[in-house]
Structure 1
Amino acid sequence: MKKFLSLMLISLALAAITISSGVYNFAATEKHWPITEKLIEWIRISSINAHAKDIEVPPLDSGDMIRIGATHYHAMCTGCHLAPGMEPTELSIGLYPQAPVFSQRETISNQAEMLDLARGYFWVIKNGIKMTAMPSWGLSHDDATIWAMVAFIFKMSGMTQAQYKELTHSTRDHAADHEHHDHAR
């Protein structure tokens, strides 16, 4: 037991020296070590799944819901997540990790997988993710608006630039009338 404690103390001391030396570079221009990246991804996915598992997913196919989601996505999300046909922005290029580009994701046909993904998207949009550029929109938007954004994200898979423009331009009149009724909880 004494050897184990000594080994633990030495390991902790070496870890403290390594960390305090600045050998691990936190610059966004430097990729994580592969083991660090895998560990962070595993922790992030596990955390989101654990916190989102009991969220009830409402029907996500309402035209009004998708139009509201399109309005909010267009105003708040394109800088990082882009839109169909949109070139990368200065912001999206500088992100590490890179934000997902939803219009380039495959359509989900498995209902159980789609529900799990919807729960995760809702939780992330509402709560944000630490140490990324993903903010917590739940501080300024109600759950119905966040679900509308989730619904729109699912519709973006394979959406063309023309379809996106038609949907977001047709919602601009709604957006002008749409005062910030999106209050948190």
Structure 2
Amino acid sequence: MKIMTKQVAMLIIATAAALFALILLLAWMGAYNFGADVQHSRPVFSAIEFARERSISVRAADIKVPPLNDEAALVKGAGNYEAMCAQCHLVPGKAETELSRGLYPGPPNLSKVAVQPAEAFWIIKHGVKASGMPAWGKSMSDEDIWHLVAFVRKLPELNATQYSAMVKSSSGHSHAGTADEEMQGMSHAEQDNGHAQEQGSETSTPRSEPAHPHKDGEQH
């Protein structure tokens, strides 16, 4: 019995080693296509999706969700969503953008998908590897991230007019780490150089036609 158990163990080890060597060989040959315009096979996609969802769920389990119905928080979240998220995650009444269409896996359309607040907070703060989703926690405070979560949670209930009104009533892109706050920490010389570059761009000759035309319904 012990001999049989040892033989099975050796067989398992040998099989695992052979599979690992095969994977390394295929990787060295560049056999797997990592182009974003080629989808994963169903088994690979399912495995990645399962691992990602479990990873996020486990790490978000202990996050305490604050009240998310404050109107001022929703409005502030609207401004940051428009500036930081809309190109990938879309807005009510708008078609896909060039960016959202080119990403793989495709980002969820948050104007149509309900989110779990704790998981949304974790994703916004920490990002998701190899997905195009950045870790906004490197520049945003937890409070600002919760404002964004509050707005994303409300977003599926909004139509295009309501969305536009909330964005217009906001102060736009406003959170710790934005350009205005970074300028406050610069020397006067650095600030003057930045302002000079802005003025130079403003006084340049405008184009008679847009350099990057888009189809109707696409965001600019």
Paired letter, 2:47: L
Q: Structure 1, residues 93-116: CA drift from partner, whole Å, max 9, x if none? A: 10001111111125xxxxxxx7xx
Assess, with a 3 A threshold, how the Cα gap between structure 1 residues 6 and 89 changes in structure 2: closer, same or farther. same
Paired letter, 2:27: I
Identity of aligned residues (%): 36
Counterpart CA distance in 2 for 1:175 and 1:149 is 12
Q: Structure 1, residues 10-42: CA drift from partner, whole Å, max 9, x if none? A: 222222222322221110000001011001001
Structure 2 length-normalised TM: 0.72
**Aligned counterpart, 2:42:** 34
Counterpart CA distance in 1 for 2:172 and 2:39 is 39
Counterpart CA distance in 2 for 1:9 and 1:142 is 46
Indicate the SS of the match to 2:157: coil
**Residue 105 (1) aligns with residue 113 (2):** yes
**Aligned counterpart, 2:83:** 75
Length, aligned pairs only: 171
**Residue 84 (1) aligns with residue 83 (2):** no
Task: Tell me: higher relative CO, structure 1 or 2? Use CA pairs within 8 A at least 6 residues apart.
Answer: 1
Paired letter, 1:120: E
Listed as ranges, the gaps of 5+ residues in structure 1 are 107-113
**Aligned counterpart, 1:17:** 25
Paired letter, 1:9: A
Q: Structure 1, residues 34-93: CA drift from partner, whole Å, max 9, x if none? A: 011001001100110111110110000000110111011011101101111122111111
2:68–2:147 Cα contact (<8 Å) kept: yes
**Residue 6 (1) aligns with residue 5 (2):** no
Counterpart CA distance in 2 for 1:139 and 1:85 is 31
Counterpart CA distance in 2 for 1:26 and 1:181 is 33
**Aligned counterpart, 1:139:** 138
Deviation at 1:3, TM superposition (A): 3.2
Counterpart CA distance in 1 for 2:112 and 2:31 is 36
Paired letter, 2:64: E
Counterpart CA distance in 1 for 2:26 and 2:63 is 41
Paired letter, 2:44: T
Listed as ranges, the gaps of 5+ residues in structure 2 are 1-6, 182-220
Counterpart CA distance in 1 for 2:22 and 2:162 is 56
Counterpart CA distance in 2 for 1:156 and 1:175 is 16
